[in-house]
Structure 1
Amino acid sequence: MDSIANLQESLPNANLVSAEKDLLNNFKAAALSITTLYKSSLKTSKRSYSAGYEACLTDVLHFIQAGVSVDVDNGGGMTIGRIMDWVEGRLDAL
């Protein structure tokens, strides 16, 4: 009879089971939030990279277009060396 009386005390309390379910639900919600934040940051990072790359290519294109319209006969034309110097200067500025 003693073991039957102790059985009730050894079984999980209904409040304990409810608390464990609440804890599990809170953990799942937190994990979902972290996953959502991670995915969102990846998208933002990709958009930022693309915007920066586009700005870079636009700068190079404008530099080349400006150099093409310079008078070539007076030595002011666009050369690969001049483009490389300009790009290196821009990289050093970063």
Structure 2
Amino acid sequence: MVALKPHRGTWAPADQPHTPIEAAHALAWHDARHPDDWTPVKRHFRNGHTETWWAADACLGGYGPDSPCRLVVATTDPAGLPEKAT
């Protein structure tokens, strides 16, 4: 597993995402009852605290759910994709 910088660009056709953050924004989200592309994930912290985060497979260049390398986006808020928590 490696982390990609959210604004680090890659080659892609003009109509497709060029950065991980663009790929995240391309994912569908309606609300928590109808999460579309997103799946709820319970995150456990060392102090026993838990939070619900959201994860989704994204497509970017050679990354994707059907590719040998996957790009998984995790966030606390799929609607807003906050920079510090995505």
- Shared fold by TM > 0.5? no
- Structure number with the higher helix fraction is 1
What interval of TM-score do these two structures reach, taking the shorter chain for normalisation? Answer: under 0.3
TM-score, scaled relative to structure 2 = 0.22
TM-score, scaled relative to structure 1 = 0.21
- Structure number with the higher strand fraction is 2
